[in-house]
Structure 1
Amino acid sequence: MGKIIAIANQKGGVGKTTTSVNLAASLGALEKKVLLIDADPQANASSGLGIDVDTVSLGSYQVIEHSATAKDAIIASNAPNVDVMPAHIDLVAIEIELVDKEEREYMLKNAIIDLKSEYDYILIDCAPSLGLLTLNALTTSDSVIIPIQCEYFALEGLGKLLNTIKSVQKIHNETLDIEGLLLTMFDSRLRLSNQVVEEVQKHFSDMVFDTIIQRNVRLGEAPSYGESIINYDVSSKGAVNYLSLAKELIKKNEL
């Protein structure tokens, strides 16, 4: 039975999509069968794995509104063992369309429940908001990874997200767990980066992944070629970091 993990933080620019794409590719490289669901209207996770978003006719939008089955909306990516349910700009409208629907927080869950047995990991790349799309992702997931960038406002908004997760646990998904806080964009030369790491580890000790994602030029270049860092430059620091994260995740879930 696979595990569904949302990658969420309402702050933009913290490394959610970078993590979704490269963790998926790293798990695939370690021979796990992975589905990446793109639940962000910007569709960067889809294009980051080589999918031409303009040609997408079926994706997460149609699946959430139940006009297509999950299986119909899945495409093989250019990363070994990784499939994608792509997003499209249409997804912007879903928040408005779901407002009057009954059970609106469960639309994604009901649509993909049968896929759990077909994948080892299903990752959901969330939009940078705490709207209905992210709520659907949290209601569907077994756990959530929260990327936190090692920069000045790192912890701003984290309390709000943790409160949202608590209320989802209370109302919609009592088994939702926090898989871990992931420190991203770390630059060892900067005192501020080191301070953020210390602060996060001090406050959230056991919840923080041992792996820290370092700031890496190759990691920033890879999406413009429609490739994960594993395909683009497997010897880079970014690839080493994400493979380490994938191994840590597998080990944690196989205990």
Structure 2
Amino acid sequence: MENVRYTAKRLAEIFGVTSKQIEGALGKRDGFVPDDLPVLRAKLRRPPEPFAPRVQLFLNFKGGTGKTSLSSSYAYRLAERGYRVLMIDLDSQGHATKCLGKEGGSFTQTLQDVIIRRRPLDEVTVPTGMPNLSLVPANLSMSTIDLALMPLAGREFRLRNALQGVQGKYDFVVLDAPPSFGLLNLNALMAASDLVIPVLADFLSYDGLRLLFETIQGLEQDLSHQLENIFIVVNAYNQTFKIAREALGALREHYADYLLDSVVRQCTKFAQASSEGCPIFGYDPDSKGATDIEAVQNEILGRIRAACAEAGAAGA
């Protein structure tokens, strides 16, 4: 992400001011970089809207749904908004790590050291090229983490307990999980307040959704953990395909309470951005992929605010 550059126009859009105000605040007309964002936020007095801390898990037991591109770009956009964000890569393939411009193999410590060896999260957290966005990287050393967890006491709560050590330090913790069910993903579900499920608009997605919802029901019954919010987001949607339109209609019929109105359209810029080690907002903020994730994020945050307000009114 070292190559990310901003135009005055893009910064003006982020902060809701004019390009001249951006140039005046920073004393330059071009060459804007991510490090300019917190400076601008302070000078323009544009703090992020207050938000109760969240742990948001991106998970689908079915692979190939584009989950990592969504989660890494989602986390990056939160940081652009001024929130303090921690991205945790749970996948031994380290795709989220790569999407944020880091090579997983270059790190000697990962989440494995936190979960198994009880290292503090701060010890394995690294900065990214975006201020306010930190990363717990992943690499192939994590491939045995499920086996290592099996004999441990309180194995389902290791991640949740680790996150308590950074409580108050981050506004959002974003978890990118591998497409499988195991003890590490069980840890992620037990730690999460919100679950985001990326799906494709095809009927094979129903198998993954069914298994995931069965798992969630088991957590509620056996471990007394209830997720506060569940969001299903359709990714890589192409409305020109009849099967995609039919699948979307079926999702709206059977999962109406969870399905977001916003969809993420098919966009080749995601693959290009990932190959450059950059989230879509840093690679091409004007692309339809960036526009759609912005809409998804706005809808998720809006629904959470509404749910919190409703709960507060009910408890008054």
TM-score tier (shorter): over 0.9
Q: Distance in 2 between matches of 1:79 and 1:165?
A: 33
Alpha-carbon offset, residue 103 of structure 1: 0.7
Q: Normalising by structure 1, what TM-score?
A: 0.95
Map of 1:169 onto structure 2: 220
Confirm or deny: 8 A CA contact 1:154 1:196 kept in the other structure.
no
Confirm or deny: 8 A CA contact 2:219 2:226 kept in the other structure.
no
CA distances 1:165-213 after superposition (whole Å, capped 9, x unpaired):
1111223352323421111110011111111111101111121112101
Confirm or deny: 8 A CA contact 1:139 1:173 kept in the other structure.
no
Of the three residues 159, 182, 189, the one matched with 2:210 is: 159
Q: Does the residue aligned with 2:233 lie in a helix, a strand or coil?
A: strand
Map of 2:103 onto structure 1: 52
Q: Distance in 1 between matches of 2:53 and 2:166?
A: 8
Map of 1:39 onto structure 2: 90
Q: Does the residue aligned with 1:205 lie in a helix, a strand or coil?
A: coil
Map of 2:274 onto structure 1: 223
Q: Does the residue aligned with 2:167 lie in a helix, a strand or coil?
A: helix
Q: Distance in 1 between matches of 2:253 and 2:167?
A: 35
4+ residue segments displaced more than 3 Å: none
Q: Does the residue aligned with 1:238 lie in a helix, a strand or coil?
A: helix
Map of 1:253 onto structure 2: 304
Confirm or deny: 8 A CA contact 1:8 1:125 kept in the other structure.
yes
Q: Distance in 1 between matches of 2:79 and 2:87?
A: 11
Alpha-carbon offset, residue 63 of structure 1: 1.0
Alpha-carbon offset, residue 115 of structure 1: 2.1
Q: Distance in 2 between matches of 1:189 and 1:61?
A: 43
Q: Normalising by structure 2, what TM-score?
A: 0.77
Calculate the aligned-residue CA RMSD, in Å.
1.4
Q: Distance in 2 between matches of 1:105 and 1:168?
A: 11
Confirm or deny: 8 A CA contact 1:124 1:137 kept in the other structure.
yes
**2:240 corresponds to which letter in structure 1?**
R
Q: 1:228-239 to 2 correspondence within 5 Å? A: 228-239=279-290
Confirm or deny: 8 A CA contact 1:61 1:88 kept in the other structure.
no
Map of 1:25 onto structure 2: 76
Q: Distance in 1 between matches of 2:98 and 2:73?
A: 13
Q: Distance in 2 between matches of 1:219 and 1:168?
A: 33
Q: Distance in 1 between matches of 2:164 and 2:118?
A: 16
Map of 1:62 onto structure 2: 113
Map of 1:132 onto structure 2: 183
Confirm or deny: 8 A CA contact 1:59 1:86 kept in the other structure.
yes
Q: Does the residue aligned with 2:181 lie in a helix, a strand or coil?
A: coil
CA distances 1:208-250 after superposition (whole Å, capped 9, x unpaired):
1121011101012111100000000000001111111122222
Alpha-carbon offset, residue 80 of structure 1: 4.0
**1:105 corresponds to which letter in structure 2?**
E
Confirm or deny: 8 A CA contact 1:127 1:133 kept in the other structure.
no
Map of 1:105 onto structure 2: 156
> Looking at CA atoms only, which structure, 1 or 2, has the larger radius of gyration?
2
Alpha-carbon offset, residue 67 of structure 1: 4.1
Q: Distance in 2 between matches of 1:210 and 1:66?
A: 42
Q: Does the residue aligned with 1:253 lie in a helix, a strand or coil?
A: helix
Confirm or deny: 8 A CA contact 1:79 1:231 kept in the other structure.
no
**2:234 corresponds to which letter in structure 1?**
L
Q: Structure 2: 5+ residue runs without aligned partners? A: 1-51, 307-316
Q: Does the residue aligned with 1:101 lie in a helix, a strand or coil?
A: coil
Count of matched residue positions in the alignment of Structure 1 and Structure 2: 255
Q: Does the residue aligned with 1:156 lie in a helix, a strand or coil?
A: helix
Q: Does the residue aligned with 1:117 lie in a helix, a strand or coil?
A: coil
Confirm or deny: 8 A CA contact 1:25 1:80 kept in the other structure.
no
